[in-house]
């Protein structure tokens, strides 16, 4: 296939985003403008703005022709029209500009990514490559900075995460060992040109999936945290329910020995659609996360493809460490999307509450309730006569269940997870046209999911099956849209 020029793609992107939205195009989530997006890349605060890069096939809804696209914003509400950053048009990245990260150095934004190369037999080569973006947005591809794969690892060697500690630059890379076990490795450099292989990050997980993708290593709350996305984990009762997972380990990392003394792996999101999160810090000192609201190998489940696009990114989340756990909360800037308050109720004791006056499919809902003597609570939303989305919680067992059913998939799906809630349950729900994020108990758990209903359904129902519960408060805001500018 002959690649179009970046200018042609950029022009087409503006044209597409200026059209009337289809029924699945979200309002306040960043969607693929056209074609397929997946991993967020190169997340950074640079020159007074947030830069969001992403994996992008602008030609179709398949995992081919991977470019890097990018946009930027000052407030996460007004975004620059997405553009191509780099295309797979060199010998070292001809089969895809795969995921990577960014660091500000010498006044430029330096982006390191994996150049993917395959021969006619499908054999891989992987190169860790450098590109730069200047303040006036001049783009330069500078080629590989790590040309070879260390002995003992396969060509599944990708997704470099770059950072600086003291006077040394480090890169963490997701890898697969020759025994087909997943891991992550490190390189270091003093001058950003010559990179030395340090070795493997030594964790307790010697047999934890066959590949670790998209690692991020950072410090928070006095601890070192490694976020990564392992592939090949076997499903357990309340864990590892998706095809692939994303989570973290927390502890103390020794940069001299590469020993990581850590606690158990914890998943970051318990919903249906979340993968490849990347972590970065901003000028306010916040540690932020953005993830892909999708999963590899799930393209047949996304009905937006008939409109020529697929996949979205999560809203940005602030990370905090509390009581040994990562809490994720929506950034304050999400309040900029709030328009009129549709509903505000307090102190209602009931076993059924029907909210049929919402009349919008993009809203934020904040509810706090006490169980009273009730055993089980459920909230249904995005429903109509034949389709529904449902969140249940059993106060006795501590089990959450998220269900979805729509006429496109023609099957009921559920995810289960456990969280002990003593008396008061708090939910903060961001419901968009085809994307939902549920923040539970101030963000100790989060669940992300895509919902492609054939018909619009805006009714919200809160029910208990036994005794009444007390709804301390419920507030709903209609949410506005991302605004794009040239």
CA distance 204 to 198: 18
Q: Enter the tokens of residue 31.
A: 């969607």
Largest Cα separation within the chain, whole Å, is 67
Active site residue 159: no
Token digits of residue 275: 């993968």
Question: Token digits for 55?
Answer: 């994996």
End-to-end CA distance of the chain: 29
Which pair of structure tokens corresponds to residue 403? 């269900």
Measured torsion, CA atoms of residues 208, 210, 213, 216, in degrees rounded to the nearest 10: 30
Backbone phi, psi, residue 38, to 5°: -145, -110
Q: Taking the mean position of all CA atoms in its chain, how far away is CA 138?
A: 28
Alpha-carbon distance 161 to 126, whole Å?
A: 15
User: What are the tokens at 71?
Assistant: 């946009």
Catalytic residue among 2, 22, 31, 39: 39
Q: Output the CA torsion sign for 86, 89, 90, 96.
A: positive
Cβ neighbourhood burial of 243 (10 Å; 0-12, 13-18, 19+):
middle
DSSP character for 384? -
C-alpha distances out from residue 188 to 164, 185, 191, 250, Å: 9, 11, 9, 22
The catalytic residue positions are: 39
């Amino acid at each position: 296939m002959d690649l179009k020029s970046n200018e042609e793609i950029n022009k087409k992107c503006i044209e597409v985003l200026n059209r009337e939205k289809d029924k699945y195009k979200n309002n306040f989530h960043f969607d693929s403008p056209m074609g397929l997006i997946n991993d967020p890349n190169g997340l950074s605060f640079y020159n007074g703005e947030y830069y969001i890069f992403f994996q992008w096939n602008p030609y179709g809804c398949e995992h081919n022709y991977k470019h890097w696209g990018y946009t930027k914003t000052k407030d996460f509400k007004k975004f620059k029209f997405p553009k191509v950053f780099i295309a797979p048009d060199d010998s070292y990245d001809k089969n895809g500009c795969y995921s990577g990260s960014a660091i500000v150095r010498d006044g430029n934004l330096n982006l390191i990514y994996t150049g993917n190369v395959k021969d006619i037999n499908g054999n891989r080569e992987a190169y860790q490559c450098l590109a730069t973006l200047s303040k006036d947005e001049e783009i330069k591809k500078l080629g590989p900075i790590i040309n070879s794969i260390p002995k003992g690892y396969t060509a599944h060697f990708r997704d470099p995460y770059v950072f600086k500690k003291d006077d040394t630059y480090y890169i963490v890379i997701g890898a697969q060992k020759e025994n087909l076990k997943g891991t992550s490795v490190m390189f270091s450099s003093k001058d950003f040109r010559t990179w030395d292989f340090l070795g493997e990050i030594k964790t307790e997980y010697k047999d934890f999936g066959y590949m670790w993708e998209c690692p991020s290593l950072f410090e928070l709350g006095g601890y070192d945290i490694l976020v990564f996305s392992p592939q090949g984990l076997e499903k357990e009762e309340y864990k590892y329910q998706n095809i692939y997972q994303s989570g973290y380990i927390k502890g103390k990392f020794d940069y001299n020995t590469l020993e990581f003394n850590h606690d158990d792996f914890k998943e970051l999101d318990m919903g249906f659609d979340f993968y490849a999160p990347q972590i970065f810090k901003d000028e306010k000192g916040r540690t932020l996360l953005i993830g892909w609201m999708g999963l590899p190998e799930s393209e047949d489940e996304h009905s937006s493809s008939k409109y020529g696009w697929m996949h979205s990114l999560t809203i940005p989340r602030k990370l905090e460490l509390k009581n040994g756990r990562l809490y994720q909360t929506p950034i304050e800037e999400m309040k900029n999307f709030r328009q009129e308050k549709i509903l505000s109720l307090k102190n209602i004791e009931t076993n059924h509450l029907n909210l049929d006056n919402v009349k919008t499919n993009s809203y934020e809902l904040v509810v706090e309730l006490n169980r009273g003597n009730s055993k089980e609570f459920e909230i249904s939303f995005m429903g109509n006569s034949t389709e529904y989305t449902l969140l249940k919680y059993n106060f006795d067992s501590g089990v959450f269940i998220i269900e979805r059913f729509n006429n496109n998939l023609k099957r009921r799906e559920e995810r289960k997870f456990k969280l002990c809630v003593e008396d008061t349950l708090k939910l903060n729900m961001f419901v968009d046209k085809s994307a939902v994020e549920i923040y539970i108990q101030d963000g100790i758990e989060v669940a992300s999911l895509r919902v492609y209903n054939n018909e619009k359904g805006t009714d919200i129902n809160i029910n208990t099956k036994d005794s009444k519960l007390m709804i301390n408060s419920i507030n709903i805001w209609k949410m506005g849209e991302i605004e794009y500018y040239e």
